[in-house]
Every structure is written in structure tokens, then in C-alpha cells.
Structure 1
Amino acid sequence: MEIQSYKSKALKILSPIQPAIKAVEIPDIFFRVDCRSKAGYQLPVYYLVYFLFADLLEFPNLGKFEKIAWSFPIDYKGKTFLVEYRKMGLGIFVQNLATDETAAEEIVRKINGAVKSARPFYDYIAAEAIKKSNLNVNNNNRKLFARFNFLLEQYKTESGLAAFSRNKYETKTEVTKFSKVANSLSLSYKHDEKANWYAISCVEAFFSWTEHLFIHLAIIAEGLADGEMITRLIEAEWKDKFRAAITDTSKTAVKFLDELLLVRQQLRNFVAHGAFGKEGNAFSFHSKTGAVPVIVNYKRQRNRFSLQGGLVFNDGETIALIGGFIMYLQTGSLKPAMFYTQESDLPTIVPYAANGFYQALCDDMETMERYCYELQQQLDDAANMDW
């Protein structure tokens, strides 16, 4: 990549900004009070500014201080300013808030322009990081599982109410101009309907969660350490993610995969495609016995999750299957990996899969728990910039 051309262009946009190299040029005022300019709130995200000054332009960095991650002293028209990432965020720090705000605004405009001009450089940095597998994978498992659990509890509530009111009816009388009509209504009907709705949403939430979970398990439990392969796996089908994360070939694991694939194909995909599906589910053909679905269910047992053109399915069996699979994940050989990614809410660090560190942690639950606690402490200290 022709980095020099982007460097020259960025320097031209930043001009007359240049490094304030000498230590004597950094007035003590910066280290005694918070002189954060209002203009600094309009800067791009902190890492784009860091890569601009550190990697592209190679400006001197003062390094870490208490509550400060990095600091670039710059000279603008003969006066020193700091572009600094502190605990409370990125900012432009000035010597005099009353007189330097206008200059800070000009600096921010120039930095924004330089960042925009260097977009291909940022793409290059990201691509190189993927190639080198020098990555963390963001962990959203806890939030996705919380959504699933919420919908599951709603399903259980409505299902319980439906069972409680089974074979119970209420009579409502509809009065018209000419007559009175008494209608007997099932008390369980509305709860059955709501339970079905929640079950469908619960299934969707389950597959959303596991799409994310399997990526983390593939790295932590199975040692997937190639950034480009991880990228391809993220874009792959659910079944491929399952197989990458769960290499168990026991009858239990194989049965879970087969059964869950049926649910995904016959229920989840149907609903996700606007209750039409994607294999002719929208159509019925005319016959002497009436309308017949284009997809004819020959194998009754194999297609027991099939919607058969409607939104009614065996929600109890489906929810039980999902619950059994979750128990399998939480209590089997994947328990340490599940603790790391599901319970501890930690990012997945790809180099730890490459050097065997995760594998060692997964061999012992006590070691995994202790490490998760220590890593969480390190992340908290880093977030607070307690170096």
C-alpha cells in the first residue's frame, strides 16, 4: 500500500499543525487542571485519531499516565495543545479555555478532514489485523441469552394460564336491535394463542443467540485461531457454525443437530421469510379434495415441526428440545468455555486460541473461573485507566 501518499495528504490537510516535540513546550497547566475544550467533543472516535497520529503520521506520543491512555502534543500556530485520550474520553486540551476555543475548533476541523482522507489506510490496518489474527471478538452472548430467557418466561406464563383455564368457558351475550345472542368462549384460547406467539419469538431468539455463541465456542473450545477463517464462519450457515463449535460425535450431539435443524428449516426459516418460507410454502394447488399445500408432507415423523402452511406447531416439544440442548452446553465438556463466554461476559481473544492458552483453561473448571476473575479485574483497571 502507498502509505506515503496518504501521509502527505493528511499532513497537507492538518497544516500548520505539527508535533510539539520538546518537553519544555508542554506547559504545566495541562497537568494541573482539566482544560478540555468544547470543540474536542466533535472529534472522530478515539482509535481513528490514534492511528492517524501514531501509525500514519508518527507524531511523538507522551504515553500513559494515571487516567490517560495516550497523549499527542501538537503545535498550532506557535501554541501547544494536547490531543489526548483520558478516562472521560478523547479531547483537545488547551492552555486557556477563554482564548483557545477558536483554535481548538480549527484543529478539530483539520483532524476530521485528515481522518476522512485516510480511509483506505484504516481499511488496510483492519485487513492486516485480520490476516495476523490479532483480534478480539466482541461478546454479546449474555444480552442475547437474556432476550431468549425473557421470551421463554413469557411463553411459560401464557402456557400455564392456558392449562389452568382448559375446559373452562365464559358466556358473552351480544345484544342487537332484533335479538340477543349468547356465545360460549374458551378461556384458554387467548392464552394458547399468546403462548404460540411467544414460542415462535423464543425460537428466533434461540437461533440468534446460538449464531453468536458458536463463534466464541469455536475459538475457545476448538482452537479456531485464523482471523480469515473466523470471518468466513461468521458468514456461514447455522449448521456450519454448530459443527465448528461442537465436534462431539456422540449420538446425543448428532441428535441435537438433526432436531434443531428441523426446527430451523421448518419453523424459524418459515417465519423469518414472512410466513411464506422459501420452498414453495406460500402456495396451495387446486384439487378435487380442495386446496393442497405445494410442499406435501410424506414423512410425518420427520416433519413433525412443520407449520403446514400456518403458524401452529408443537411449541411444547420445540421448547423442550431447546431446553435440553442448553443443558447439554452448560453441563457437558463445553462447560468451561460456556463459563468464559456466557457467564463472564468477556471478549474472546483470538491469539489465546493460537497459543493453546484457552485449551489449557478448558481442561480445568477451577482454573477457568480464577482466570476469568483476574481478566475481568484487568479489563476494569484498563477501563478506569489505572495503569
Structure 2
Amino acid sequence: MRERALRALRDVRPAHDQTQAVPNFWSSAKRTDAGRRLPEYYLVYFLLVELLGFPHEGPEEKVAWTIPLDYCGELFTIEHRKMGLGLFHPEPDRVAAQAAEIVNRIHKAAKEAQPFFEWFADTRVAQSAVNVANHSQPLYERYRYLREAAQSHSHAAEQRKEERRATAAGKTDLSQLTELWMADWHPEPESGWLALSAVEAYFSWTEHVLIHLAILQGRVTTGTQVASLAAGDWTGKFKAAIDVNERGANTLLDRVLAVRQDLRNHVAHGAFGKQGEALSFHSPAGAVPVLLPHRVGPQHFRFGNGLAFDALRVFQVLDDFETFMFAGVREPAREFLLENCYPTVLTMAKGAYADAMRSPEAMTNFLRYWGEEVERSANMDW
């Protein structure tokens, strides 16, 4: 693979002591237009440094790394700077054609090296040297927005109902009274739709946040575990983050699963259900629901006819679980997951995170330190 990549590069080689440089090269080098079309910075680095062993310079102010190149005897550099990856030369207009050829050659070599890139990534994942993207905050905000919209719509609908009742007082016109009666018995459905969307958003958030919660507690420490949890069911994520032997955990798990199975899963899978909820069998008494009352079992949120449910009772269960999830030893995780978007780093699961999870104050101090490190890295402020 190295031989194929070198053949693809042709005259693009590491700089050496015979490479000719324009005077004041390092102080006057500018971006070339062609350099804006280079592959992703990590592919260029993996290709030239990790696979082919090109010499390179480490970080300096506003520069993460520099690779000096020789192209037909002339010096160019590839640099990953604060403003992005680029191919640099003091006279970019004069060498535009050469720069374009260098970029084309790097693209060809990167294509040859695709199996190496995949192998390199796999080895890092196997070593658990990975970050896990943290979308907890925006997912939570989505849930809160939909829930508040549902409650606001429900409140407005109740106000309109009261206004209709006030208007009906003293009326004797039968058509008006019938219209008001029908409006009372057929409430506006929009608040229920929004509440269902909020329930869906809640489980989307918890599927995500429970994995991060497990990492912060050191209960999940490898990339393989994260991948397995991400592909698994909600209950597996719950058990990874929360000890089921903890007081109240099993009871709360049953209540949350009732909401998930009766509402979220029911709608997500076409609103048919898996126990005949959408079926009515023929009988001398008329059409009868297949899901007779004696078959309902201990779950309390199951749909009846239509898609109506008691949103207030459901939201109370979700609130209870959210409180439990960030209670006790898990309390410090709330600030990490709901007030920041830093990824969780598996190599820190048993060290820095263990220290930070000792108390909310320890987490605040850690996040202040970590925020400065992240900012310095993003700015390439070495």
C-alpha cells in the first residue's frame, strides 16, 4: 500500500537538504487556491505521516502541524492552521499549476490508502481512544420545547372551552347548544399530538444521555461497549447507567417502560400495537376490541380508541425519572450533560471523570478547566 501511495504521489516527496526554497519562505508563505481542495486534514496527516513517514513539525502558535514537501525540487508546505488546512508558498500565483498538481496527487494517493485509513481508525476504536459526541443538551431542549408547546396549547384550548360555556349560558337556540356540546365532547387534538411528540423526544434524549451517564460514572469504558449499547434497547442503556438494585430503580423502570411501550412504541410502529390494539373482532354484541380489559395487565398508559391519553400523568412519570436519573452520585453529571456540549472521552472514564463526579463543585471545577483546554485546542493556541 505504501508503494501504491508513493506511485500516486509521483514527484511529491518529503523536503530534503537539496530542496530549493524562495528567500524568506517561512515568513512570507501564503495559501494557494489549490490547497483549499485538499482532502480532510486527518486524511492528509494519516497518509503522509502515519503511512509514508514524511518528516513533520509539531505545534506552534496557531499551527497544529507542518509537513514540508519537495515538488520537482521546490519547497512547499502543508499546514493545519487555525483557519484550516492549506498548501503554502510565498508566490502562490506563480506556482498555481504546480500547487494544483500536488493537490491532485495527494487525492490520488489518499484514494489508494483508503484501506489503511480504515485499519488505523479500527485500531484506535479497539484501544477505546475515542470521543463520544454529546448531543444531550439540544435533544433535551427539543423535548422541553415540545412539552411546553403541548401544555400551552392545552391551556389555550381549556380557555376557549370555558369561553364557549360562558357564551352558552342563557342560550336557548338548539343549534348553538348542540354545536357547543359537540365542541366539549370532541376536544382539539393538537395538544395531544404535541404531547406525543414530546414523549418521543424524551426517549430520544434518554437513549442518548444514559450512555453518557454510564461513561461519566466509569461503568462503560470501551468503544465496543458504547457501540453495543447504542445498537441495543432502552432497557440496556438504563441498566448500564443505573444500578437496578438501587432503591426505587426497578419500580421507576417499570413505570417508564409502560409509557415507552404503551405510547412511544405504539405510535412509532404504525399505531397498530403488538397485542391487537388496532383490531376489533366480530361478535353478536357488535365489534369488540381484541385487547379486552382483562388482558391489559399492569400498564396504565395504553391507548384506547383513537390516540388520546392523559398527558399530565405521563409527564409526571417522565419528571420522576429525570429527577431520579440525576440524583445522588449522578447529580454532578447534570451540569456536564445539560449545560455543555463537550464529548465524553473514553480514556478519561476512570480518571478525570471519576474525580469530577465526586460532587457538583468538583464537576464545575473540572468543566472550567476542560473548557479552557478545548478553547486552546480549537484556537491552536500553543
TM-score by length of 1: 0.88
| Aligned match of 2:242 | 246
Question: What displacement does 1:211 show?
Answer: 0.9
SS state of the match for residue 73, structure 1?
A: strand
Contact 2:157/2:188 (<8 A) preserved: yes
Contact 1:280/1:295 (<8 A) preserved: yes
Question: What displacement does 1:375 show?
Answer: 0.4
Question: What displacement does 1:144 show?
Answer: 0.8
Q: For 1:210-234, what per-residue CA distance to the aligned partner results, in whole angstroms no more than 9, with x for missing partners?
A: 1110111111114311221221111
Q: Which amino acid aligns with 1:263?
A: V
Contact 1:70/1:84 (<8 A) preserved: yes
In the alignment, the residues of structure 2 paired with residue 91 and residue 367 of structure 1 have an alpha-carbon distance, to the nearest angstrom, of: 40
Alignment of 1:1-387 (within 5 A): 6-22=1-17, 27=22, 29-33=24-28, 35-169=30-164, 184-185=179-180, 192-247=188-243, 249-298=245-294, 300=296, 302-308=298-304, 310-354=306-350, 356-387=351-382
Distance 1:295 1:19, change over 3 A: farther
Distance 1:126 1:283, change over 3 A: farther
Q: Any unmatched runs of 5+ in structure 1? A: 1-5, 172-180
In the alignment, the residues of structure 2 paired with residue 187 and residue 28 of structure 1 have an alpha-carbon distance, to the nearest angstrom, of: 85
Identify the structure with bigger relative contact order (alpha carbons < 8 Å, sequence gap 6+): 2
In the alignment, the residues of structure 2 paired with residue 386 and residue 131 of structure 1 have an alpha-carbon distance, to the nearest angstrom, of: 30
Contact 1:217/1:338 (<8 A) preserved: no
Q: Which amino acid aligns with 2:237?
A: K
Distance 1:337 1:285, change over 3 A: same
TM-score by length of 2: 0.90
Q: Any unmatched runs of 5+ in structure 2? A: 168-174
Q: For 1:79-114, what per-residue CA distance to the aligned partner results, in whole angstroms no more than 9, with x for missing partners?
A: 221111111111111231212222222222221222
Distance 1:292 1:55, change over 3 A: farther
Contact 1:218/1:244 (<8 A) preserved: yes
SS state of the match for residue 18, structure 1?
A: strand
Question: Which is worse superposed, 344-353 or 63-72?
Answer: 344-353
Q: For 1:36-76, what per-residue CA distance to the aligned partner results, in whole angstroms no more than 9, with x for missing partners?
A: 12222222221111111111111111221211111111111
Q: Which amino acid aligns with 1:108?
A: V
Q: Which amino acid aligns with 1:56?
A: L
Question: Which is worse superposed, 223-232 or 323-332?
Answer: 323-332
SS state of the match for residue 162, structure 1?
A: helix
In the alignment, the residues of structure 2 paired with residue 312 and residue 274 of structure 1 have an alpha-carbon distance, to the nearest angstrom, of: 15
| Aligned match of 2:170 | none
Distance 1:114 1:195, change over 3 A: same
Question: What displacement does 1:204 show?
Answer: 0.7
Q: Report the number of matched residues.
A: 374
Distance 1:109 1:315, change over 3 A: same
SS state of the match for residue 66, structure 2?
A: strand
Distance 1:150 1:234, change over 3 A: same
Q: Which amino acid aligns with 2:229?
A: L
- CA RMSD of the aligned region, Å? 2.6
Q: Which amino acid aligns with 1:126?
A: A
In the alignment, the residues of structure 2 paired with residue 226 and residue 359 of structure 1 have an alpha-carbon distance, to the nearest angstrom, of: 15
Distance 1:83 1:304, change over 3 A: same
In the alignment, the residues of structure 2 paired with residue 108 and residue 278 of structure 1 have an alpha-carbon distance, to the nearest angstrom, of: 56
Contact 2:207/2:237 (<8 A) preserved: yes
- Over the matched positions of the two proteins, sequence identity in percent amounts to 37
Contact 2:219/2:241 (<8 A) preserved: no
Distance 1:35 1:270, change over 3 A: same
